[in-house]
Amino acid sequence: MLLLVAACIGVGIYCFANQFYVAGVAALLGPSGKIGMVAMLVSGGILVANEEWVAGSVPILVVALNLAALLLKKKPGDSATP
């Protein structure tokens, strides 16, 4: 959770400093429970589309790590998907 919050704040500050305001707002919504993953993918997609490869890959990797952790945490008998 700390990694998620740190990545959201860091990407948000980077976006605001480089005038990617929509991506900055989306990145700061990252710790949200309902729209967090979508917001991080949007901010990463905006940055990658503007050729900010390293900064754009951070939110995408955080979402991938979060999904991997959810899949590993799932018990073998659960049929629900994350």
Q: What is the pLDDT along the chain (82 residues), one digit of tens a residue?
A: 788 888 889 989 998 999 989 988 988 888 887 888 888 888 889 889 998 898 889 888 988 988 888 888 876 666 665 6
Residue 74 to residues 4, 5, 42, 44, 65: CA-CA distances in angstroms?
A: 20, 23, 26, 26, 14
At residue 31, the pLDDT reads 84
- Give the number of C-alpha atoms closer than 13 A to the C-alpha of residue 21, restricted to the C-beta side: 0
Task: Read off the tokens for 35.
Answer: 């729209």
At residue 13, the pLDDT reads 92
At residue 81, the pLDDT reads 59
Alpha carbon distance 10, 20 (integer Å) = 13
